[in-house]
Amino acid sequence: MNNIYAIIFDLDGVICSTDQYHYLAWKALADRLGIYFDEEINGQLRGVSRMESLEIVLGKHSSDYSAEEKMALAAEKNEIYKSYLASITPGDLSKEVRMTLHTLRQRGYLLAIGSSSKNTKQILTQLGLGQFFDAIADGTMITKSKPDPEVFLLAASMLGVSPENAIVIEDAESGIRAAKAGRFRAIGIKSDGNDPDSDITIKSLKNLIDIL
């Protein structure tokens, strides 16, 4: 790919498999509230902020809860989620992700994270990647979540590159839309089939090495 100097990675579902922990935590909350929740609904939460995710989980029950109660429910989910995060170690970073990141670094690309998660820094630290990236833009620094491009534009500006000189790697539809809205080239990771909105779909992260 021409004129690409920087690569901005989504975190959950791209660098690590925390999606299952999000699922278990939302499921525990939904079960306590007596609200139906399954893997299909969980799929709609990928890339979406915690409070927007809560609205999707509550669905038609949303109006039963006040703003304060919703804050408490989101905090409750996050505590359950963090109890799962506590078990993450550098051994949970897959060989493939480790090899890909190091190869891209050797090739001289600037590397950044662009994630909606407010737990980004904790996850990176536990994976042993706390000091690895050239920039980290996360859910604690933005006001608009994906599909708004804010988090990717922030990552690019922290790196000092223009969107046309960077690519975004995403597993979520909201993330691909955010990348395109920010005028980045968007690479979708999808193990089965094509992501119609992305510029290129790859089956797994290591395929990046071949297409760059």
The contact set with Mg ion (CB under 5 A) reads 10, 12-13, 171-172
Q: Are residues 37 and 30 in contact, defined by beta-carbon separation less than 8 angstroms? A: yes
Minimum CB distance to ligand BG6 smaller for 100 or for 116: 116
Q: Is 53 in the site for ligand BG6 (CB under 6 A)?
A: yes
Pair of tokens at residue 184: 């980045």
Closest CA to 11 of 92, 106, 105: 92
Q: Residue 69 burial by CB count (10 A; 0-12/13-18/19+): exposed, middle or buried?
A: exposed
Residue 42 interaction partner, one of Mg ion, ligand BG6, none, beta carbon < 5-8 Å per kind? none
Closest among 114, 126, 92 to 169, alpha carbons compared: 114
Piece of 27-35, 41-49, 129-137, 156-164 that binds ligand BG6 (CB under 6 A): 41-49
Least distance in angstroms from the C-beta of 141 to ligand BG6: 12
49 within 8 A of 139, measured Cβ to Cβ: yes
CB 1 → Mg ion: shortest distance, Å? 22
Judge whether 171 counts as a catalytic residue: no
Asked if residue 122 binds ligand BG6 (CB under 6 A), the reply is no
Per-residue string for binding with ligand BG6, 172-211, x by CB under 6 A? x---------------------------------------
Task: Candidates 35, 132, 134, 139: give the one binding ligand BG6 (CB under 6 A).
Answer: 139
Contact residues: ligand BG6, CB under 6 A = 11-12, 22, 45-50, 53, 78, 115-119, 139, 172
**Would you name the residues annotated as active-site residues?**
10, 12
